[in-house]
Amino acid sequence: MATRTAEELLALGLRDRWYPLCPSGTVNRGELTRIERAGEKLLLWRDSAGVVHVQEDRCPHRGARLSLGVHMGDRVACNYHGVQVDGDGVVVSVPGSPGCALEGRRALRTFPAEEHAGAVFAWFGLDEAAEPTPLQLPDPIAGGEWDTFPCYVEWDAPYGYSLDNLLDPMHGAFLHRNSHTMFGGKREAVFQIRAIDDGFVFEKTDQRGVNFDWVQLTDAGAQWVTLDIPYPDTAGPGGAFTIVAALCAINETQHAAFFWRCRKVSGWERDSWRVLYRNRLEARHWAVLEQDREMAEAMPLDAWDRENLYQHDIALVRMRRLLRSEARRQAAALAAPAAAPAPAAPVPAPTR
């Protein structure tokens, strides 16, 4: 991939990570879909078996947009000169010059892709040829006893602002104080960070199960944020309302996000929960999310440069330190030459 600075990686997302790109329903059979994610212009399409493919939206011939081309079942044809590329990025036909050297070459960057929990995921690797780390889903969106409603948004704010917001449990008692679930509890707290495998938990030391009282960040091939919101008995069976969030930068000033809304229910309780959620609770949760959107989009782009943090923000400090360290490492890896060239032979001085 192209060289990026550490600051660019912080703004657009670390590499060697899986990111959720869009809802599965965004990519329809027989259509070519163009999106921008992690600073990359992407083409998404499904082959004749319905398998989704994620590729660079750039014809390997002259760089025209493949998304302006023709869907041909198991290949895509560029509309500029008809060059045809398959789901592995291999040029399978050059109609204008059959048998030319471009045919048979894997010439289009193709991103490993999977679909889970109603979302299309893609792997953005430092090394385009390396195999991705297996995508490990958090339990609440992996199926089983959990039931899930995906919630997808696109906001006009840097993705780091949403990550900050998720790692800030204290804002629940203020910004969301009129919510049907986050009206209770104290408006002051002391927090602690507890290390776990591949991440940490940020939690209040003197309150649990009352408001937005803890959050967990996991970074193991994908960045996941998990939190619980207490539910009253009137919200039906299943205990606490769990949110699993994953973010993906679109560019430096916009991002996409999934907030999977989950409860641990099965059988008749699952049916009851789904009816209750759709008819009564979903609109309330969108109202809460809208409060977060308004706050994030109204923040200035230099907010990080002019902030003054305190004890409630120690999770932000920890998270940013981890991301910056990895961004510097990845930027150095991208900048390093693949192999050091042999020193040039000295040029003899001219003779007279």
CATH class of the region 14-124: mainly beta
Backbone angles phi, psi at 85, to 5 degrees: -125, 140
Q: Distance (Å, rounded) from C-alpha 140 to C-alpha 135?
A: 15
- Across 32-36, 43-47, 225-229, least confident range: 225-229
pLDDT of residue 347: 40
- Other beta carbons within 10 angstroms of residue 66's beta carbon come to 26
pLDDT of residue 106: 96
- Band (pLDDT 50/70/90 cuts) for residue 339 is very low
Residue carrying the six token digits 């679109």: 250
Give this prediction's pTM. Answer: 0.92
The CATH architecture one would assign to domain 139-329 is Alpha-Beta Complex (3.90)
Going from the C-alpha of 342 to that of each of 127, 170, 339, 345, the distances in angstroms are 23, 57, 9, 9
- Is the pLDDT reported for residue 46 higher than 50? yes
In the structure encoding, which two tokens stand for residue 165, read together? 């917001």
pLDDT of residue 182: 66
Q: Distance (Å, rounded) from C-alpha 61 to C-alpha 85?
A: 10
Percent of the chain with pLDDT over 70: 94
Give the H/E segment covering residue 18. Answer: strand 17-23
* CB half-sphere exposure, 217, CA atoms < 13 A: 25
The one-letter amino acid at 341:
P
- Across 34-48, 54-68, 86-100, 334-348, least confident range: 334-348
Kindly report, residue by residue over 239-279, the tens digit of the pLDDT: 888 999 999 999 999 999 999 999 999 888 889 889 988 99
Kindly report, residue by residue over 307-320, the tens digit of the pLDDT: 999 999 999 999 99
Q: Distance (Å, rounded) from C-alpha 175 to C-alpha 182?
A: 9
pLDDT of residue 273: 87
- Band (pLDDT 50/70/90 cuts) for residue 348 is very low
In the structure encoding, which two tokens stand for residue 303, read together? 């907010």
Kindly report, residue by residue over 113-167, the tens digit of the pLDDT: 999 999 999 999 999 889 999 999 999 999 888 999 999 999 999 999 999 999 9
Going from the C-alpha of 339 to that of each of 4, 32, 40, 150, the distances in angstroms are 19, 38, 26, 45
Nearest CA to 202 out of 218, 191, 211, 210 is that of: 191
Kindly report, residue by residue over 166-183, the tens digit of the pLDDT: 999 888 888 888 876 767
- Is the pLDDT reported for residue 213 higher than 70? yes
DSSP 169: G
Kindly report, residue by residue over 50-70, the tens digit of the pLDDT: 999 999 999 999 999 999 999
What residue segments make up the domains of the chain, in order of their start? 14-124, 139-329
Kindly report, residue by residue over 290-303, the tens digit of the pLDDT: 999 999 999 999 99
pLDDT of residue 35: 98
Nearest CA to 46 out of 103, 91, 4, 87 is that of: 87
